[in-house]
């Protein structure tokens, strides 16, 4: 593809992406190509986000860096290459040190980003003119309320509608397009756990008692485990910020967590109270977080289907999972790459049947893997009760085997070849 392939003709392949989160923006990047028009409809104005870190695992880093060439778009000083996990007891003793040493085998690193940095970079890549194909158009404050899947039409809350040859439902955990694809409502299930998110400047921690036990500038993910609650902590933006995810059972909180949205703010008192069984040298650092977010963790049972007519679901809309494996966003990146791979040869208006055949290829390649990781993420949160729950497949892999399973992924077509998955149509 060349830089002058951004002109489109009247018969251009029209792609509508609902949702401008990580999944939607990655889909726009992966689907850019000659004679394609891409429109992203995002309900929000994308202005507000309580600070939080997000990790991309080696399986997603490989796609972002090697397949899409976006590795340098966030400078090294603004990301952290994670060297491993350190697990501490509540009194600050290091009880387990698990190095992440397999870069050579996995082909890329586990990289921690500030959510805003990752999101802004993906937005710029999707809409910039320096990548192949016509830049995607991002339309903000555009809320989709329903879809006619067979016709490829989405209906917006302002009474307008938009149609596409390919419609991607990347509208997150409360997806409207999921309802349209399934023909019924399937809501995400509360897991009984909520997460506070905090982020503070590392310089505020220098000289603190905390820093004498856990060096906040070292590139490690530190976990401090209590009986029914835990802290997951690590540096973000190089050595600029320190991010904490604080997991607590819902039932112990005074707030109604079922009403939380990603941007729900919590008070310092609340999070300090939730962690009052932890020593003061740990909880005293919470005060340095300028804002605190609270989000009830939910996941989905595997859906009966991911596509109908011209619409396919990706990301949290199709397989919302718990953050215990840090794979939610990484699986969204894999979904996007798979769409790009199986639609690679399409450069003009395409009939519904041809679109559906390609969807079938995407799902054959992605469904089992994403559902297994979803299941494993659920089991890792509730090992005593969730394993082998009725009607669910039982996960038999060990943690190390699972890490290998997660991270040795090299893109949809490679996975398809390795797994011997039969392909419906030639993708290239």
Ligand X SMILES: Cc1cc2nc3c(=O)[nH]c(=O)nc-3n(C[C@H](O)[C@H](O)[C@H](O)COP(=O)(O)OP(=O)(O)OC[C@H]3O[C@@H](n4cnc5c(N)ncnc54)[C@H](O)[C@@H]3O)c2cc1C
Q: Note the residues at the interface with ligand X (CB under 6 A).
A: 18-24, 41-44, 54-55, 143-144, 170-173, 176, 195, 197, 245, 295, 297, 315-317, 323, 326-330, 332
Q: Which residue has the tokens 């390795």?
A: 418
CA dist., res. 233 & res. 318, Å (int): 28
For ligand X, which is the closer residue by CB, 12 or 25? 25
User: If we measure between CA atoms, which residue out of 194, 168, 116 comes closest to residue 317?
Assistant: 168
Least distance from C-beta 3 to ligand X, angstroms?
28
Q: Which is nearer to ligand X, 35 or 296 (CB)?
A: 296
Inter-residue contact 15 to 38 (CB < 8 Å):
yes
Distance CA 69, CA 62 (A): 9
What's the min distance (Å) between Cβ of 341 and ligand X? Answer: 19
Closest CB to ligand X among 36 and 114?
114
Cα 175 from Cα 166, distance rounded (Å): 17
Bridge partners of 241, per DSSP, are 201, 236
CB 338 within 8 A of CB 362: yes
- Report in angstroms how near the CB of residue 7 gets to ligand X at its nearest: 28
**Nearer Cβ to ligand X, position 34 or 370?**
370
**Shortest distance (Å) from residue 6 CB to ligand X:** 25
- C-alpha separations of 162 from 33, 167, 230 in Å: 21, 10, 45
Q: Which is nearer to ligand X, 34 or 299 (CB)?
A: 299
Least Å distance, CB 395 to ligand X, is 19
The count of residues in the chain is 428
Q: If we measure between CA atoms, which residue out of 367, 358, 365 comes closest to residue 424? A: 358
Q: Please name the residues in contact with 256: beta carbons below 8 A apart, sequence gap of 6 or more.
A: none
Rounded to a whole number of angstroms, the minimum distance from the CB of residue 111 to ligand X is 10
Q: 364, 363, 374, 365: which is closest to 312 by C-alpha?
A: 363
Task: Please state the closest distance from residue 325 (CB atom) to ligand X, in A.
Answer: 8
Which residue's CB is nearer to ligand X, number 199 or number 347?
199
- For ligand X, give the closer residue by CB, 23 or 347: 23
Q: Output the smallest distance, CB 10 to ligand X, in A.
A: 27
Nearer to ligand X, 142 or 283 (CB): 142
Nearer Cβ to ligand X (216/315):
315
CB 17, min distance to ligand X, A: 9
Cβ proximity to ligand X: between 334 and 427 the closer is 334
CB of 131 to ligand X, least distance (A): 19
366: Cβ contacts below 8 Å, ≥ 6 apart: 306, 334, 335, 338, 412
Residue 216 or residue 326: which is nearer to ligand X going by CB? 326
The set of residues, in sequence order, having a beta carbon less than 8 Å from that of 243 and lying 6+ positions away, is 51, 52, 53, 112, 197, 198, 199, 233, 234, 235, 236
CB of 62 to ligand X, least distance (A): 14
């Amino acid at each position: 593809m060349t830089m002058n392939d951004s002109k489109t003709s009247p018969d251009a392949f029209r792609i509508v992406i609902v949702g401008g989160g990580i999944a939607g923006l990655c889909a726009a990047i992966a689907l850019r190509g000659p004679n394609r028009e891409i429109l992203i409809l995002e309900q929000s104005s994308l202005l507000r986000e309580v600070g939080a870190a997000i990790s991309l695992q080696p399986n997603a880093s490989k796609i972002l860096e090697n397949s899409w060439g976006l590795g340098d778009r966030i400078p090294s000083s603004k990301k952290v290459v994670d060297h491993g996990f350190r697990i501490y007891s509540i009194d600050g003793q290091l009880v387990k040190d698990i190095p992440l040493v397999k870069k050579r085998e996995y082909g890329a690193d586990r990289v921690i980003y500030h959510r805003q940095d990752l999101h802004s970079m993906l937005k710029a890549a999707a809409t910039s003119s320096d990548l192949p194909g016509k830049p995607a158009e991002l339309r903000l404050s555009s809320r989709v309320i329903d879809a006619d899947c067979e016709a490829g039409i989405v209906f917006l809350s302002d009474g307008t509608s938009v149609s596409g040859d390919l419609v991607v439902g990347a509208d997150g955990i409360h997806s409207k397009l999921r309802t349209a694809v399934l023909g019924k409502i399937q809501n995400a299930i509360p897991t009984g756990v909520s997460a506070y998110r905090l982020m503070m400047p590392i310089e505020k921690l220098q000289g603190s008692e905390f820093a004498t036990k856990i060096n906040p500038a070292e590139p490690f993910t530190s976990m401090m485990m209590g009986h029914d609650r835990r802290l997951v902590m690590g540096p973000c933006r190089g050595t600029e910020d320190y991010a904490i995810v604080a997991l607590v059972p819902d039932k112990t909180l005074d707030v109604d967590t079922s009403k939380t949205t990603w941007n729900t703010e919590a008070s310092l008192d609340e999070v300090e109270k939730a962690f009052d069984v932890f020593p003061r040298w740990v909880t005293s650092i919470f005060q340095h977080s300028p804002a605190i977010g609270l989000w009830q963790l939910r996941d989905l049972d595997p859906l009966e289907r991911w596509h109908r007519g011209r619409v396919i679901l990706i990301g949290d809309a199709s397989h919302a999972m718990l953050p215990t494996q840090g794979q939610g966003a990484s699986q969204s990146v894999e979904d996007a790459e798979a769409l790009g791979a199986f639609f690679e040869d399409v450069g003009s208006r395409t009939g519904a049947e041809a679109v559906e055949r390609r969807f079938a290829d995407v799902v054959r390649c992605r469904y089992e893997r994403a559902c297994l990781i979803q299941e494993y993420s659920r089991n890792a949160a509730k090992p005593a009760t969730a394993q082998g729950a009725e009607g669910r497949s039982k996960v038999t892999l060990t943690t190390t085997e699972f890490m290998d399973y997660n991270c040795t992924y090299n893109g949809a077509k490679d996975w398809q070849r390795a797994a011997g998955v039969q392909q419906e149509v030639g993708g290239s």
